[in-house]
Amino acid sequence: MRLGIFVGCLVLVAVLVNVGWVPAGLGDANPAWVVLLALVISAPLSFVLLRKQRDEMSAQISGRVAGAKERLAANRSQEDAADDAARI
């Protein structure tokens, strides 16, 4: 989705540069200028527009981390119990 927002901004900036509404950059720097300007525009747009997806992904990751911590704690307690039983 983020790549799509960037490509959309890239096309928009390229059209605006060709029309003359946005400065074309210095000399041969036109392609670099267009890409840089598209990056600068797409970053805040993706931050705002993809907030819901970012929050959902964060919830999924935190759930997986919590599950992994629980499994690790269970494995540790099993190892401790086996070690205690072997020492007795």
pLDDT for 29 equals 57
pLDDT for 11 equals 93
In this structure, the number of other CB atoms found within 10 A of the CB of residue 19 comes to: 8
10 or 71, which is more confident = 10
pLDDT for 22 equals 73
**Contact assessment for residue 49 and residue 5, using Cβ atoms and an 8 Å cutoff:** yes
At 32-84, the pLDDT tens digits run 888 999 999 999 999 999 899 888 888 889 888 888 888 887 777 776 666 67
**Contact assessment for residue 42 and residue 9, using Cβ atoms and an 8 Å cutoff:** yes
pLDDT for 82 equals 66
How many degrees, rounded to 5, is the angle at CA 61 between CA 60 and CA 67?
90
At 15-43, the pLDDT tens digits run 888 887 777 665 555 888 889 999 999 99
pTM of the model: 0.60
**DSSP track, 16-60:** HHHHTSS---STT-HHHHHHHHHHHHHHHHHHHHTHHHHHHHHHH
pLDDT for 46 equals 92
